[in-house]
Homo-oligomer: A and B are copies of this chain.
Amino acid sequence: MSLTSASSFATFDTAPFAYETAAFLQPIPRPAHSEAVVRITPKYGRGTVAVTLRYLWHGCAEAPTVIVQGGISASRDVCSVGTVAGWWDDLVGSGRAVDLEHCRVLSIDWLAAGDIDGASAVSSEDQADALAALLDALGITQAQAFVGASYGAMVGLAFAARHPRRVGRVVAISGAHRAHPLATALRAIQREIVRGGIGRGDVAGALGLARQLAMTTYRGAEEFAERFDAEPEFREGRFHFPVEDYLVAAGRKFVARFDAERYLSLSESIDLHRLDAAAVRVPCEIVAVSSDRLVPSADLRALADGLGAAARFHEIDSCYGHDAFLKETRRISALVAAALSCC
């Protein structure tokens, strides 16, 4: 893995490592949003290939880098930059747990299989290797921490296993050593819905419906019950239930911002993820949520046990299920801030 060429956006106008090690130099400002071409050897590919990585690198220029990655549908925009809003502004920003006054956040847009020449699928290891290659490209010897949620936690763990000297600590929220088979079942059905839609030329309808199914897995059952325990409405020849209307709207919103092939590839990547916990030597904070049906707390406890002395297990008691990392700001922030203070 090495930098082969910088894209037109990325201007590598100082020597590698300068940003991290030579604090006495004032680096020339560079855009927060950029991209780089790096080389990886994909798990399901044919040899080493060059891939273009879109990334955000933003915050205090001289400070340590914290890698932050979310779920498969999350972009590199973890925090607001100019007019571009961040999806995790509660956690990443000035004065937040990932405090941009004291560190610099790095995040990539996930690679999909279609982004990798000759690859039949994309793996969490590929994402980890691409991130490690990006650290090379940016001259970062070691990231202070890798904060990952959902698929981002899987990739963080893969990163720790494969590139132990490139990260000080991993905070893995609601992502485990493998997908739970019931979650795999629900994603396999989502993918079948999407493939069917692609096959018959109804991508929007199918992707929306798949997203509806995904939405049912993201929140806790009790929260669903409280929000949607109301009478159905009879219209257009049939009953419509309140939860149904909510899901349809959520599906439509997703279709407007996401690509079906990308969804297929990243959804599959979650299910292909397998980590040997014994291979991880980096300190890890494993964060589980009591009501998460997609990544059950018991799986994360088993992961923490497998990691042994390197890991600390935390369970958040929350009604928000798998989405707790987006909703339980106070508790997630406290955990992340404490983890970063250890680095």
Contacts and interface: CB of A to CB of B under 8 A. Distances in A.
Interface stretch (A62-70, A89-97, A139-147, A236-244): A236-244
A184 B221 contact: no
Given A232-B272, A296-B221, A196 B205 contact: yes
B244 A188 contact: yes
A225 interface: yes
A258 interface: no
A221 B120 contact: no
Interface residues of A, number: 44
A212 B234 CA distance: 27
A228 B293 contact: no
Interface in A218-252: 221, 224-225, 227-229, 231-232, 234, 237-239, 241-244, 247
A271 interface: yes
Interface string A176-213: 00101110111011001100100010000100010011
Contact of A181 (B178, B180, B181, B243): B243
B216 A239 contact: no
A322 to B, nearest CB: 13
Nearest to A245: B188
A247 B185 contact: yes
B221 A180 contact: yes
Given A180-B221, A200-B200, A209-B193, A228 B271 contact: no
Contacts of A121: 238-239
A216 B185 contact: yes
B268 A216 contact: no
A215 B238 CA distance: 24
Nearest to A182: B224
A207 to B, nearest CB: 13
A296 to B, nearest CB: 6
Contacts of A196: 205, 209
Given A189-B212, A193-B193, A271 B232 contact: yes
Contacts of A189: 209, 212-213, 216, 247
List the 3 closest pairs (A to B, CB-CB), nearest first. Answer: A181-B228, A188-B244, A182-B224
22 contacts: A120-B237, A121-B239, A180-B221, A180-B225, A181-B227, A181-B228, A181-B242, A182-B225, A184-B241, A185-B212, A185-B215, A185-B224, A185-B228, A188-B241, A188-B247, A189-B247, A193-B193, A193-B209, A221-B293, A231-B274, A232-B272, A239-B271
Given A121-B238, A196-B205, A241-B271, 4 more contacts: A182-B216, A182-B224, A184-B228, A213-B213
